[in-house]
Amino acid sequence: MDNMNTVIAIDLGGTQIRAAVVNEAGTVLSRARADTPTGQSADVGIAQMIHTTREALAGVSNAKPLAIGLSSPGPIDPRHGILFSTPNIPGWHNVPLAQRMSEAFGLSCFAGNDANLAAVAEWQFGAGRGCTDLVYLTVSTGIGGGVISSGKLIDGKRGLAVEAGHILVALDGPPCGCGSYGCLESFASGTGIARAMEERLATGEASSLTEERGRITARMVVAAMQAGDELAAAVFTRAMRYLGIGCASFINLFDPQKIILGGGVTKAGSALFDIVREVAFKRCMRELREGVEIVPAALRDDVGLLGAAGYAFEHAVNLV
Ligand SMILES: [Zn+2]
């Protein structure tokens, strides 16, 4: 354990900056965190990132990290480590994050967006260990994801792939935050579930949630379903059938060993996985169905740090 290689992992979030020293086994040896400065320039934020990273480094004696991995809360050019702009940190535009971290610590810095790096985390340290091909989806307020194909993260020409929540599953459909409509996210995310429940309640259908109209959340729909509410069960089932056809498309596209589902909505447990598996396996091509597993994500709070670490280790191999 003592002789293992280490990297610096930085998880830049909209509310918190987390930094850690992580070894090859995915063990966090030291960590530090701070609030993300808001309403200030990117320079202030970068100074805080450097300070927090130094704190994490100070917790390990003789730390000789190979490289830095950085998880970004928004779209980032993975080749140059430039954060475009993100609604999660207003005021940051075209920030050369990787370069600034690299200069501060004298190490190469590899940066990717949080959904892609969460896929890397599950692949290297979580439910996807040993896979060469997997699809990771996080289903919460929205739907994000990442794809590992033939042992490599798919990132696209500008690093913006894979926007898994915005595959189109309907010709019409609810409007989506991306400007389109009929996206998977608009049907199967927590937001989509809540909206569908509101729509059904508005027509006067009977439900234990009638009194909650106007403030429905996905969590309330799941709780009502588990307490026997038929309308809540119908709404949730329909949303998860959309997630199932989304997964069928991902199986057809990527021929994965695993589809890994994380995010708050997956706390519904077997109620979710049973429907998604049934629909996905029924609707994907028969030849591709064999050997695919649809499983819960294994990592929780540290997924951002471990994704950054995994990404750094993956690239650091090319440095030595
Ligand atoms: Zn969309």
CA of 188 to the centre of ligand 1 (A): 11
Average pLDDT over residues 269-292: 97
CA of 143 to the centre of ligand 1 (A): 9
CA of 163 to the centre of ligand 1 (A): 9
Longest distance between any two alpha carbons in the chain, whole Å: 66
CA of 171 to the centre of ligand 1 (A): 13
At 194 the pLDDT is: 98
CA of 113 to the centre of ligand 1 (A): 17
CB 312 within 8 A of CB 67: yes
- The tokens for 6 are 């280490």
User: In 3D, which of 263, 307, 13, 270 has the Cα closest to residue 142?
Assistant: 263
CA of 249 to the centre of ligand 1 (A): 16
DSSP helix/strand/coil, 197:
helix
CA of 175 to the centre of ligand 1 (A): 8
At 74 the pLDDT is: 84
Please say if the pLDDT value at position 1 is more than 60.
no
CA of 235 to the centre of ligand 1 (A): 20
Q: What is the pLDDT of residues 140-172, one digit of tens each?
A: 999 999 999 999 999 998 888 999 999 999 999
CA distance 222 to 182: 23
CA of 42 to the centre of ligand 1 (A): 28
CA of 155 to the centre of ligand 1 (A): 18
CA of 20 to the centre of ligand 1 (A): 33
Q: What's the mean per-residue pLDDT of the chain?
A: 95
Query: Model confidence at 122, in pLDDT bands (50, 70, 90)?
Result: very high
Query: Model confidence at 2, in pLDDT bands (50, 70, 90)?
Result: low
Residue position matching structure tokens 């994965």: 256
Please say if the pLDDT value at position 320 is more than 90.
no
Q: What is the pLDDT of residues 178-219, one digit of tens each?
A: 999 999 999 999 999 999 999 999 999 999 999 999 999 999
**C-beta neighbour count of 70 within 10 angstroms:** 29
The angle at the Cα of 295, spanning 293 to 301, to the nearest 5 degrees, equals 150
DSSP category for residue 108: -
At 40 the pLDDT is: 87
Looking from the CA of 253 toward its CB, the CA atoms found within 13 Å total 16
At 89 the pLDDT is: 86
Q: What is the pLDDT of residues 243-266, one digit of tens each?
A: 999 999 999 999 999 999 999 999
At 303 the pLDDT is: 96
Q: What is the pLDDT of residues 123-132, one digit of tens each?
A: 999 999 999 9
Average pLDDT over residues 302-309: 97
DSSP category for residue 212: G
At 317 the pLDDT is: 79
Beta strands in 152-289 (DSSP E): 152-153, 258-262
CA of 314 to the centre of ligand 1 (A): 30
CA of 302 to the centre of ligand 1 (A): 27
CA of 248 to the centre of ligand 1 (A): 18
At 302 the pLDDT is: 95
At 146 the pLDDT is: 97
Percent of the chain with pLDDT over 90: 86
At 211 the pLDDT is: 97
At 87 the pLDDT is: 80
